[in-house]
Amino acid sequence: MLTTDLIWTLVGFVLTLLVFTFLIGDNPLFRLTAYLFVGVMAGYVASVVIYQVLIPRLARPLMEGSPEERLLALVPLVLAALMLTKLSPRLSHLGAIPMAYLVGVGAAVTVGGAALGTIIPQTLATIQSFGSAEGANLGGIAEAAIFLLGTASTLIYFQFQAHTRPGQPPERSRPIRLIARIGEVFIAVTLGAVFAGVYSAAVTALIDRLDFILTVITTIF
Protein backbone atom coordinates (compact mmCIF):
# COMPACT_ATOMS: atom_id res chain seq x y z
CA MET A 1 0.00 0.00 0.00
CA LEU A 2 1.38 3.39 -0.98
CA THR A 3 2.00 5.83 1.84
CA THR A 4 1.71 9.59 1.54
CA ASP A 5 5.49 10.09 1.62
CA LEU A 6 5.97 7.48 -1.10
CA ILE A 7 3.31 9.09 -3.28
CA TRP A 8 4.91 12.54 -3.03
CA THR A 9 8.33 11.01 -3.66
CA LEU A 10 7.04 9.43 -6.86
CA VAL A 11 5.41 12.73 -7.88
CA GLY A 12 8.71 14.55 -7.36
CA PHE A 13 10.53 11.82 -9.28
CA VAL A 14 8.19 12.06 -12.26
CA LEU A 15 8.25 15.87 -12.32
CA THR A 16 12.04 15.88 -12.15
CA LEU A 17 12.23 13.54 -15.15
CA LEU A 18 9.77 15.73 -17.04
CA VAL A 19 11.93 18.79 -16.40
CA PHE A 20 15.00 16.93 -17.65
CA THR A 21 13.17 16.24 -20.93
CA PHE A 22 14.07 19.83 -21.87
CA LEU A 23 17.56 18.47 -22.60
CA ILE A 24 16.19 17.01 -25.84
CA GLY A 25 14.39 20.23 -26.71
CA ASP A 26 11.17 22.01 -25.94
CA ASN A 27 8.32 19.49 -25.72
CA PRO A 28 4.77 19.20 -24.32
CA LEU A 29 5.94 17.29 -21.22
CA PHE A 30 8.29 20.07 -20.18
CA ARG A 31 5.65 22.73 -20.89
CA LEU A 32 3.15 20.75 -18.81
CA THR A 33 5.59 20.78 -15.89
CA ALA A 34 6.25 24.50 -16.33
CA TYR A 35 2.52 25.27 -16.42
CA LEU A 36 1.99 23.14 -13.33
CA PHE A 37 4.77 24.97 -11.50
CA VAL A 38 3.37 28.39 -12.47
CA GLY A 39 -0.15 27.32 -11.46
CA VAL A 40 0.99 26.03 -8.08
CA MET A 41 2.96 29.22 -7.42
CA ALA A 42 -0.01 31.37 -8.44
CA GLY A 43 -2.29 29.42 -6.12
CA TYR A 44 0.20 29.68 -3.27
CA VAL A 45 0.62 33.44 -3.74
CA ALA A 46 -3.16 33.90 -3.93
CA SER A 47 -3.68 31.94 -0.70
CA VAL A 48 -0.99 33.98 1.08
CA VAL A 49 -2.56 37.24 -0.10
CA ILE A 50 -6.03 36.14 0.98
CA TYR A 51 -5.20 34.68 4.39
CA GLN A 52 -2.34 36.98 5.42
CA VAL A 53 -3.32 40.30 3.80
CA LEU A 54 -6.95 40.62 2.73
CA ILE A 55 -8.64 38.84 5.65
CA PRO A 56 -6.56 40.12 8.61
CA ARG A 57 -5.81 43.60 7.25
CA LEU A 58 -8.97 44.44 5.29
CA ALA A 59 -11.98 42.19 5.90
CA ARG A 60 -11.53 41.73 9.66
CA PRO A 61 -11.00 45.45 10.45
CA LEU A 62 -14.04 46.36 8.32
CA MET A 63 -16.25 43.78 10.01
CA GLU A 64 -14.95 43.67 13.58
CA GLY A 65 -12.74 46.72 14.03
CA SER A 66 -13.34 50.01 15.78
CA PRO A 67 -14.61 53.03 13.82
CA GLU A 68 -11.03 54.29 13.44
CA GLU A 69 -9.85 50.91 12.12
CA ARG A 70 -12.79 50.74 9.69
CA LEU A 71 -12.04 54.23 8.40
CA LEU A 72 -8.38 53.33 7.95
CA ALA A 73 -9.27 50.09 6.17
CA LEU A 74 -11.40 52.02 3.69
CA VAL A 75 -8.28 53.61 2.21
CA PRO A 76 -6.81 50.42 0.66
CA LEU A 77 -10.33 49.30 -0.27
CA VAL A 78 -10.96 52.50 -2.25
CA LEU A 79 -7.52 52.34 -3.86
CA ALA A 80 -8.11 48.72 -4.87
CA ALA A 81 -11.48 49.66 -6.35
CA LEU A 82 -9.83 52.44 -8.34
CA MET A 83 -7.28 49.96 -9.63
CA LEU A 84 -10.13 47.96 -11.15
CA THR A 85 -11.08 50.98 -13.25
CA LYS A 86 -8.00 50.21 -15.38
CA LEU A 87 -10.17 47.53 -17.00
CA SER A 88 -12.38 50.23 -18.52
CA PRO A 89 -10.87 52.54 -21.15
CA ARG A 90 -13.32 55.29 -20.19
CA LEU A 91 -12.53 55.16 -16.45
CA SER A 92 -8.90 54.11 -16.65
CA HIS A 93 -7.70 57.61 -15.70
CA LEU A 94 -9.03 57.01 -12.18
CA GLY A 95 -6.57 54.15 -11.81
CA ALA A 96 -3.71 56.66 -12.01
CA ILE A 97 -4.29 57.57 -8.35
CA PRO A 98 -3.44 54.14 -6.86
CA MET A 99 -0.74 53.63 -9.49
CA ALA A 100 0.93 56.89 -8.43
CA TYR A 101 0.70 55.77 -4.82
CA LEU A 102 2.28 52.40 -5.62
CA VAL A 103 5.05 53.97 -7.69
CA GLY A 104 5.78 56.54 -4.98
CA VAL A 105 5.92 53.94 -2.22
CA GLY A 106 8.01 51.62 -4.36
CA ALA A 107 10.47 54.40 -5.20
CA ALA A 108 10.73 55.41 -1.52
CA VAL A 109 11.33 51.82 -0.43
CA THR A 110 13.93 51.32 -3.17
CA VAL A 111 15.83 54.54 -2.39
CA GLY A 112 15.62 53.95 1.35
CA GLY A 113 16.77 50.35 0.95
CA ALA A 114 19.66 51.39 -1.27
CA ALA A 115 20.75 54.10 1.15
CA LEU A 116 20.26 52.24 4.43
CA GLY A 117 21.08 48.78 3.15
CA THR A 118 23.94 49.45 0.73
CA ILE A 119 25.49 52.93 0.61
CA ILE A 120 25.64 53.71 4.34
CA PRO A 121 26.80 50.20 5.42
CA GLN A 122 29.36 50.24 2.59
CA THR A 123 30.69 53.60 3.77
CA LEU A 124 30.82 52.50 7.40
CA ALA A 125 32.53 49.26 6.42
CA THR A 126 35.15 51.23 4.51
CA ILE A 127 35.77 53.51 7.50
CA GLN A 128 35.94 50.55 9.86
CA SER A 129 38.40 48.82 7.54
CA PHE A 130 40.83 51.70 7.95
CA GLY A 131 40.11 51.86 11.65
CA SER A 132 40.92 48.19 12.13
CA ALA A 133 44.05 48.60 10.02
CA GLU A 134 45.62 51.01 12.50
CA GLY A 135 48.65 49.39 13.99
CA ALA A 136 48.18 46.39 11.73
CA ASN A 137 50.59 45.04 9.18
CA LEU A 138 50.98 46.37 5.68
CA GLY A 139 48.60 43.72 4.31
CA GLY A 140 45.71 45.01 6.43
CA ILE A 141 46.28 48.58 5.29
CA ALA A 142 46.48 47.46 1.65
CA GLU A 143 43.22 45.52 2.01
CA ALA A 144 41.46 48.57 3.47
CA ALA A 145 42.84 50.76 0.66
CA ILE A 146 41.61 48.34 -2.02
CA PHE A 147 38.20 48.26 -0.32
CA LEU A 148 38.04 52.07 -0.38
CA LEU A 149 39.25 52.25 -3.98
CA GLY A 150 36.66 49.71 -5.12
CA THR A 151 33.81 51.51 -3.35
CA ALA A 152 34.74 55.00 -4.56
CA SER A 153 35.57 54.02 -8.14
CA THR A 154 32.37 52.00 -8.49
CA LEU A 155 30.24 54.94 -7.32
CA ILE A 156 32.11 57.31 -9.66
CA TYR A 157 31.54 54.88 -12.55
CA PHE A 158 27.81 55.67 -12.32
CA GLN A 159 28.44 59.42 -12.36
CA PHE A 160 27.50 60.55 -15.87
CA GLN A 161 27.92 64.31 -15.57
CA ALA A 162 29.98 65.59 -18.51
CA HIS A 163 31.54 68.87 -19.57
CA THR A 164 30.44 70.40 -22.83
CA ARG A 165 32.68 72.35 -25.18
CA PRO A 166 31.60 74.27 -28.27
CA GLY A 167 31.70 72.03 -31.30
CA GLN A 168 32.62 68.89 -29.33
CA PRO A 169 30.49 66.09 -27.83
CA PRO A 170 30.05 66.05 -24.05
CA GLU A 171 32.76 64.14 -22.24
CA ARG A 172 33.82 63.51 -18.69
CA SER A 173 37.09 64.83 -17.38
CA ARG A 174 40.20 62.67 -17.64
CA PRO A 175 40.47 61.91 -13.87
CA ILE A 176 36.82 60.86 -13.76
CA ARG A 177 37.30 58.61 -16.79
CA LEU A 178 40.36 57.01 -15.23
CA ILE A 179 38.65 56.34 -11.91
CA ALA A 180 35.53 55.10 -13.73
CA ARG A 181 37.66 52.63 -15.67
CA ILE A 182 39.00 51.28 -12.36
CA GLY A 183 35.42 51.02 -11.12
CA GLU A 184 34.53 49.12 -14.28
CA VAL A 185 37.18 46.53 -13.37
CA PHE A 186 35.71 46.12 -9.88
CA ILE A 187 32.20 45.78 -11.34
CA ALA A 188 33.42 43.12 -13.77
CA VAL A 189 35.04 41.17 -10.93
CA THR A 190 31.84 41.46 -8.88
CA LEU A 191 29.64 40.27 -11.72
CA GLY A 192 32.03 37.38 -12.33
CA ALA A 193 31.80 36.38 -8.67
CA VAL A 194 27.99 36.62 -8.80
CA PHE A 195 27.91 34.48 -11.94
CA ALA A 196 30.19 31.93 -10.31
CA GLY A 197 27.88 31.84 -7.29
CA VAL A 198 24.78 31.37 -9.46
CA TYR A 199 26.53 28.72 -11.54
CA SER A 200 27.70 26.80 -8.46
CA ALA A 201 24.17 26.99 -7.01
CA ALA A 202 22.75 25.62 -10.26
CA VAL A 203 25.31 22.81 -10.32
CA THR A 204 24.52 22.01 -6.68
CA ALA A 205 20.80 21.84 -7.50
CA LEU A 206 21.54 19.59 -10.49
CA ILE A 207 23.62 17.24 -8.36
CA ASP A 208 20.88 17.16 -5.74
CA ARG A 209 18.25 16.23 -8.35
CA LEU A 210 20.46 13.56 -9.88
CA ASP A 211 21.12 12.12 -6.44
CA PHE A 212 17.36 12.16 -5.78
CA ILE A 213 16.69 10.25 -9.01
CA LEU A 214 19.34 7.65 -8.24
CA THR A 215 18.06 7.25 -4.67
CA VAL A 216 14.49 6.70 -5.85
CA ILE A 217 15.58 4.23 -8.50
CA THR A 218 17.74 2.19 -6.12
CA THR A 219 15.17 2.30 -3.30
CA ILE A 220 11.89 1.68 -5.12
CA PHE A 221 12.74 0.11 -8.43
> Does 85 map to a domain?
no
> Does 102 map to a domain?
no
Residue predicted with more confidence, 132 or 199: 199
> Does 35 map to a domain?
no
pLDDT (0 to 100) of residue 190: 93
What is the average pLDDT across 125-148? 69
> Does 21 map to a domain?
no
CA dist., res. 57 & res. 75, Å (int): 11
CA dist., res. 11 & res. 34, Å (int): 15
The pair phi, psi for residue 164, each rounded to 5°, is -110, 140
Percent of the chain with pLDDT over 70: 89
Residue predicted with more confidence, 143 or 209: 209
pLDDT (0 to 100) of residue 136: 55
What is the average pLDDT across 165-194? 85
pLDDT (0 to 100) of residue 150: 87
pLDDT (0 to 100) of residue 159: 77
> Does 175 map to a domain?
yes
> Does 137 map to a domain?
yes
pLDDT (0 to 100) of residue 168: 66
> Does 220 map to a domain?
yes
Residue 47 has pLDDT above 90, yes or no: yes
What is the average pLDDT across 158-182? 77
pLDDT band of 208, cuts 50, 70, 90: very high
Percent of the chain with pLDDT over 90: 34
Mean pLDDT over all residues of the chain? 86
What is the average pLDDT across 1-7? 74
Which stretch of 20-24, 66-70, 144-148, 194-198 has the lowest confidence by average pLDDT?
144-148
Per-residue pLDDT tens for 77-102?
Answer: 898 889 888 888 888 888 889 999 99
pLDDT (0 to 100) of residue 103: 93
Asked if residue 188 lies in contact with residue 154, where contact means CB atoms within 8 angstroms, the answer is no
pTM of the complete model beyond 0.75: no
Structural domain of residue 149, as residue ranges? 133-221
pLDDT (0 to 100) of residue 164: 66
Tally of structural domains, the chain:
1
Virtual CA dihedral for 152, 154, 158, 163, nearest 10 degrees?
50
What is the average pLDDT across 157-181? 77
> Does 198 map to a domain?
yes
What is the average pLDDT across 27-50? 94
Of the candidates 72, 68, 98, 65, which has an alpha carbon nearest to the alpha carbon of residue 84? Answer: 98
Of the candidates 83, 114, 112, which has an alpha carbon nearest to the alpha carbon of residue 99? Answer: 83
CA dist., res. 31 & res. 34, Å (int): 5
